[in-house]
């Protein structure tokens, strides 16, 4: 299972070296001092451009780190993607500070809360084991999101 998670991590966060022969090409990666990584990948098979801001959070009880991503596919987004949510039909839940939990990973208020928040708690679902939880320090998210928007617009 650990090998599967490492492989997923490479695919989910793009933390790998990509060769010139690859069907997925990195555009330009930026890692901010806060730990947020902003990057775009071009998938030459699907003819899409995926831009994301990602930071690792701590899983609760699992002893590993999990990615927390905000993603745009071409210009469609943002979509918040906490952890390794791979369980069919299950929707992750995100709560920022003491705000009510949010179930809509496209909700504009979630992005606004992430910009101002101090702690993020998320529950996501991993096939076949079920629910896992993570926490994340969102410090620096506002800067990462602004950079992400610039990259989505092609600047």
pLDDT (0 to 100) of residue 130: 86
Rounded to whole angstroms, how far apart are CA atoms 56 and 51?
Answer: 17
Topology, domain 2-152: Immunoglobulin-like (2.60.40)
Query: Counting Cβ atoms within 10 Å, is residue 128 exposed (0-12), middle (13-18) or buried (19+)?
Result: exposed
Per-residue pLDDT of the chain (155 residues; tens, 9 = 90+): 333 333 333 344 554 444 444 555 565 679 999 999 999 999 889 899 999 999 999 888 766 788 999 999 999 999 999 998 788 888 999 999 999 999 999 999 999 999 999 999 999 998 888 899 999 999 999 999 999 999 999 86
Provide the residue ranges of all domains of the chain, joining segments of one domain with +: 2-152
């Amino acid at each position: 299972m650990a090998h599967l998670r490492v492989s997923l991590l490479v695919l989910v966060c793009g933390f790998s070296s990509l060769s010139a022969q690859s069907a997925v090409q990195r555009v330009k990666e930026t890692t901010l001092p806060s730990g947020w990584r902003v990057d775009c990948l071009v998938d030459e098979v699907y003819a899409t451009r995926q831009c994301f801001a990602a930071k690792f959070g701590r899983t609760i009880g699992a002893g590993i780190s999990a990615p927390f991503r905000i993603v745009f596919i071409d210009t469609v987004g943002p979509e918040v993607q906490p952890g390794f949510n791979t369980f069919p039909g299950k929707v992750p839940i995100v709560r920022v500070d003491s705000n009510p939990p949010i179930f809509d990973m496209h909700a504009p208020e979630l992005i606004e809360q992430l910009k101002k928040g101090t702690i993020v708690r998320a529950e996501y679902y991993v096939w076949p084991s079920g629910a896992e939880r993570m926490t994340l320090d969102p410090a620096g998210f506002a800067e990462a999101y602004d950079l992400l928007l610039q990259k989505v617009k092609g600047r």
